[in-house]
Structure 1
Amino acid sequence: MEDKHVIIPDFNTLFNVQVDVEQAYFAVFDGHGGVDAAIYAANHLHVNLVHQESFSQDPSEALCRAFKLTDEGFVKKASREHLRCGTTGVVTFLRGGTLYVAWLGDSQVILVRRGQVVELMKPHKPDREDEKQRIEALGGCVIWFGTWRVNGSLSVSRAIGDSEHKPYICGDADHSVFPLDGSEDYLILACDGFWDTVSPEEAVRVVSDHLQENNGDTTMVAHKLVASARDAGSSDNITVIVVFLRDPRSPPTPSAEEDEEGVVEGEGSPPLTPPETR
């Protein structure tokens, strides 16, 4: 098992951050070639995040910088200890009514709003045309070897670590920002061992069926998702985090378009229910 995950629902208390809005951090790291890179990222990335000068004003910039510093730190560790491994990573950071996402590689997060999938990101894979062009411009190649691989080796195009494959496997994270209006249901963060066999729409169906069968009780929903990936044939490591952004037994807050005045009052953060992880 080379996956690691991090759940920090009360980021402010952990780091003694004195702000008026709630902050929370969730991450999945999918290691390859060993577990060391995933462990390092799970232990260091959120610490690097809070120490960035841009953290208070620009969380997206701080997240990308934290990824870069984590990559650089692990590359040094790998050189000292003769490690040959890496990890993908996807991080979601909630600050008040805003969701920040940053990622490297093919671990992914989706947002579900009123039962519908909202795409938050595109994974870094070698067959993505922009990634293929970036790799080839550096002198590398993307070839088919069971799946599309960088230089015939790794099936992801960005990661923390993988020193021997840099600069083709780069440590530059992408990021996205999404305002939340209270109509959002939940997030699903998972590694490729889940997404390779379960589509976002199928994942939503599994969650919906579980909630209906259990009167809105979120307990064990991540276990159900893991089981669905196994049943679909996944033999890879599987890690799933489900973060409910509202109580599924309560109706969602009307969106701005549905509000009679066209405005949703207040800027408070949506309440988080405890995440389910498997």
Structure 2
Amino acid sequence: MADTGDYLEVYKRFFDDFAATINPDDQLPVKVAGYYLCDTELVGEIVDWTLQYLNQKNCPPSLVAPITRIVIEEIKSICKGQPSAFRTQDNSYQPLKLMQAVTRKVNEVCLRYRDNGCMSTLPPPTPGPPISTCAIKNVRRRMEDRHVIIEDFHGVFNIEDRNPASYYAVFDGHAGTDAAVYSVSHLHQFLAESSYYPTDPEKALKDAFFRTDSLFIEKSTKEQLRSGTTAVCALLRPKEKKLYVAWLGDSQALLVCEGKAVQVVNPHKPDRQDERQRIEDMGGCVIYWGSWRVNGQLAVSRAIGDADYKPYVTAEPDVRAVDLTGNEDFLVLACDGLWDFVTEEEAVAAVYDQVRQNPG
């Protein structure tokens, strides 16, 4: 770990650079959803916008959690003290106005910490695994996939637990972006808020998936949204030597240990015998149309959203708990956009090649 002077110098450079690059006239500094928000969804959106904004500014990972936590508390206080500031006549939040308030608050908090006395109260960096991300639209008209990384999950949500946790997720949207956008903002929120967390992560993950789906379906009915998304998320709790992976649909998670790859996920596809039987028992059908599809249309059998295909396309995830031995090299989370064209062996080789070329 760097000494005090070293990490405070890193923090100072970040806050100075942040101050130099603020554009107060930018009305859309981050991506914002097109649907209205309710009180239940407030925290998830604050976290999403804050993470987007800080990532744009190359914020040191150790600063993300304390800054985000302050922004959550102060925005919630503003919303409580000025209940009509961001709301519509039906008491929903206007996402654009709320997002602008959040990014202004991030600016305010970061400028506040330029003071050396305030800066010295911030936590020092803690070692964590290196992380790499990549998102490519390919031939689609719009990018419908989303991903999120929260390195200090407990810190962001102020969860009192001595064991650290980090959260990673990939959402592969279809028929639009709304389900993926909603899930990337709220699944981790509902995981943190679950009554089962942190004592029973497996139940908490299932609870979070069901709650995300239920609220998105409700929103879909109200605002005429039609999209869906597959999901794969990983919750890493290193001190407990546990990795929890939860998934819906055909995104996958590859865990590599000493050169050997283990596929953690069994994808939910309509041609899987148990999935097909479940769908047919409920009165649905699986038809081949280029590939096996639910009711002849949807190529995955489990997803968040897809209101027109309920109850056949369920949001019940599979969850797998993996005991970690310390011999693990890396984990790859990716949607079918990767796995349809790259074999597991090729993916593993590509990561090892990059590590060899960039050992730092």
TM-score range relative to shorter protein: 0.7 to 0.9
* Alpha-carbon distance in 1 for matches of 2:150, 2:349: 27
Structure 1 residue 56: Cα displacement: 1.8
Whether 1:74 and 2:216 are equivalent positions in the alignment is yes
What is the correspondence of 1:1-278 to structure 2 with a 5 Å cutoff?
1-96=143-238, 97-212=241-356, 214-217=357-360
Greater fraction helix = 2
- Residue 269 of structure 2 aligns to a residue whose secondary structure is coil
* Alpha-carbon distance in 2 for matches of 1:101, 1:208: 22
* Alpha-carbon distance in 2 for matches of 1:105, 1:62: 19
- Residue 250 of structure 2 aligns to a residue whose secondary structure is coil
1:153-204: per-residue Cα shift (whole Å, max 9, x none)?
A: 0100000000011111111111000111211001100111111111212100
Structure 2 unaligned spans of 5+ = 1-142
Structure 1 residue 138: Cα displacement: 1.0
Structure 1 residue 18: Cα displacement: 2.3
* Alpha-carbon distance in 2 for matches of 1:195, 1:94: 23
1:97-133: per-residue Cα shift (whole Å, max 9, x none)?
A: 1000111111111100111101211010001110010
Number of aligned positions between the proteins: 216
* Alpha-carbon distance in 2 for matches of 1:193, 1:160: 18
Stretch deviating more after TM superposition (15-24 or 75-84): 15-24
Corresponding letter in the other structure for 1:107: S
* Alpha-carbon distance in 1 for matches of 2:358, 2:185: 36
* Alpha-carbon distance in 1 for matches of 2:345, 2:274: 26
Greater relative contact order structure (CA < 8 Å, 6+ sep): 1
Higher alpha-carbon Rg: 2
TM-score, length-normalised on structure 1? 0.76
* Alpha-carbon distance in 2 for matches of 1:205, 1:54: 38
Instruction: Tell whether the 8 Å contact from 2:258 to 2:329 is kept in structure 1 after alignment.
Output: yes
* Alpha-carbon distance in 1 for matches of 2:267, 2:344: 13
* Alpha-carbon distance in 2 for matches of 1:208, 1:93: 23
Structure 1 residue 209: Cα displacement: 2.1
1:49-73: per-residue Cα shift (whole Å, max 9, x none)?
A: 0111111211011001100000000
Corresponding letter in the other structure for 2:263: E
Structure 1 residue 74: Cα displacement: 0.2
TM-score, length-normalised on structure 2? 0.59
* Alpha-carbon distance in 2 for matches of 1:132, 1:87: 19
- Residue 6 of structure 1 aligns to a residue whose secondary structure is strand
Tell me the percent identity: 53
Root-mean-square deviation (CA, aligned residues, Å) is: 1.0
* Alpha-carbon distance in 2 for matches of 1:94, 1:211: 21
Structure 1 residue 146: Cα displacement: 0.9
* Alpha-carbon distance in 2 for matches of 1:56, 1:132: 34
Structure 1 residue 215: Cα displacement: 4.6
Greater fraction strand = 1
- Residue 236 of structure 2 aligns to a residue whose secondary structure is strand
* Alpha-carbon distance in 2 for matches of 1:167, 1:139: 9
